[in-house]
Structures are given as C-alpha cells and as structure tokens.
C-alpha cells in the first residue's frame, strides 16, 4: 500500500522549525513520512542535514520536502538575474538532499508562490517558456543527486502558470527528464478540476506525489472531497507513490498568513488525535478502492 505522510506545519505557526521533535511525533502517530520545508532544510549545515536523516532512519520514517519558491527565486521571471538565482537555489536544494541519499522536492518550483500574472498582461506563454528553460537547467542537478522535482498544480488564487493536470503534463513533457513529475493536491483540484478522478488519470504516469487536504483545509474526513473517487483513480493508474496530508487549521504566524487561515479551526481539537484518525481514514479508503 502507498506510504502516507503529513506536513510538519500542521502543528506550527512558522515555517522555520526544529524538525527533530516532529520526526518522533509523526513516527509515534503511525505515519510513514514526515514532509518538511525544503528551504529550511537547505539552510541547515551538512552535519545537521545528516543528523536529521539519521534520526528519521532510526524511527523508520521517510522524509520528503516541499517549498513554494520566493519571488527572489522566480525561475519564470522576465529578469534573467532572478531566474539565475532561482536555478541556483533549486540546484543547491538538489545537492543538499543528494547528500542524504536523495528524495522528492515538491511544490511551486516552476515560478514563485504566491504569484499573480503581472498587471496588464494576459499571455502567460512567455513566463512558461522562461520557466521551462530554467527547469531544464535546474533538473540536471536533480538527475545527478537522485532527486525528483514534483511540480505542484495549484489554484488560480495562488499561481497562474499551472492550474490543471493537463497544463502540468505539457510542462513535464517539455522539460523532458525522468526526474520531473507532478504533484496533485486535493484542495487545489477541488477548485480547478472538473473531476478529481479525471485529473489523477490525466497526470497518469507523470504523477509523482499527492497532497491530501479537505476543501476547507481540515484533515481528511471533515469536508466534501471525493475520497473514494481519488482512491479509485490512484488504483486505476497503479500509483505507487506517497500521499502526504497538508492540513492547516491554525491562524497566526507566517504559516497562517501565507495559507490565509483567518479563523481558528483548531479550537477544541486534539491535533495529534485528528492526525491519527485521518491516517486511518485514508488508509481505509486506499484499502477499499475498487
């Protein structure tokens, strides 16, 4: 069965965090994966990264990595210097993760997050072309370091370049590397796609990672996401990759502001208990998929 994980920021107000306590917490809750912030991981020393990986290995936990590139590293920018900074940033991330054996980096790696199309413009093709050309350079570092870049399809309010599985497939084909795949997220699919199952099947062989979250960003089971449809489509395409929960309940701090959490959905909620229940819920859906 697919490995199931959770994003550390479910419990935090800030992106910057010590990941060691979350390794223990997530392992004790029964998850297979802890997903952490790729930018924070990249800023650790080599020794700190290796210590984190050793801790995860000790707890029999896999680590995956996620980030939305800051505007200063926008690989789709019209400014060449900004694109070059972004390419170097992605290359450095690939190298750092390669030092601990490689892995998956997922998120808005193809531009910046959040981002709107520049005012007065309606044609995103020049930005897509810039992004693809930048990614063709950055992906070499991923290939050399056993790293896969999973580009995340997100909703129109957070990014403008890739909003559907169909657009992401075209992007991946244009980059043309075995080390670039697609991340599909149930929260974003709920907004942009006609059907979650169709979107998963469109991504097909290019699907490299899946994020799980309700339409209201709660843990799975507390909204109207079509979980049976998702599980069935994942089985249909024979998806063997990871599924990582990415719920956000708490306002405040940089996490709450960036995710736009304006009401406290954690009141009266035992976050650990809900995470464990959501894990059982998802594993049940995967096991029952037809």
Which active-site residues does the annotation give? 152, 246
CA 257 to chain centre: 18
Element (H, E) at 16: none
Helix axes 271-288, 227-236, angle to 10 degrees: 50
Residues 59, 12 contacting (CB under 8 angstroms): no
* DSSP letter string, 93-150: HHHHHHTTT-EEEEEE-SS-SS--PPTT----HHHHHHHHHHHHHHHHHHHHTTEEEE
Measured CA to CA, the distance from residue 128 to residue 168 in angstroms comes to 11
């Amino acid at each position: 069965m697919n490995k199931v994980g959770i994003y550390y920021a479910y419990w935090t107000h800030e992106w910057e965090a010590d990941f060691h306590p979350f390794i223990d917490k997530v392992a004790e809750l029964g998850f297979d994966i802890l997903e952490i912030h790729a930018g924070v991981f990249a800023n650790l020393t080599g020794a700190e990264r290796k210590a984190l990986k050793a801790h995860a290995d000790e707890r029999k936990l896999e680590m995956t990595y996620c980030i939305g590139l800051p505007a200063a590293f926008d690989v789709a920018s019209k400014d060449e210097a900004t694109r070059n900074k972004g390419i170097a940033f992605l290359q450095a991330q690939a190298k750092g993760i390669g030092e601990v054996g490689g892995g998956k980096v997922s998120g808005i790696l193809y531009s910046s997050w959040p981002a709107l199309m520049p005012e007065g413009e309606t044609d995103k093709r020049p930005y897509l072309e810039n992004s693809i050309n930048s990614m063709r350079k950055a992906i070499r570092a991923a290939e050399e370091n056993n790293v896969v870049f999973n580009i995340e399809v997100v909703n129109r309010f957070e990014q403008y370049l890739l909003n559907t599985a169909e657009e992401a497939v075209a992007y991946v084909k244009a980059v043309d590397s075995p080390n670039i795949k697609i991340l599909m997220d149930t929260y974003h699919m709920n907004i942009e796609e006609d059907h979650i199952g169709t979107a998963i099947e469109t991504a097909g062989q290019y699907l490299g990672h899946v994020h799980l979250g309700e339409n209201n960003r709660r843990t799975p089971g507390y909204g109207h996401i079509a979980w049976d449809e998702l599980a069935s489509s994942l089985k249909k395409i024979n998806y063997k990759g990871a599924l990582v929960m990415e719920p956000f309940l708490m306002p405040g701090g940089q996490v709450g502001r960036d995710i736009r959490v304006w009401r406290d959905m954690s009141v009266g909620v035992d976050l650990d208990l809900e995470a464990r229940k959501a894990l059982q819920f998802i594993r049940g859906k995967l096991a029952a998929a037809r």
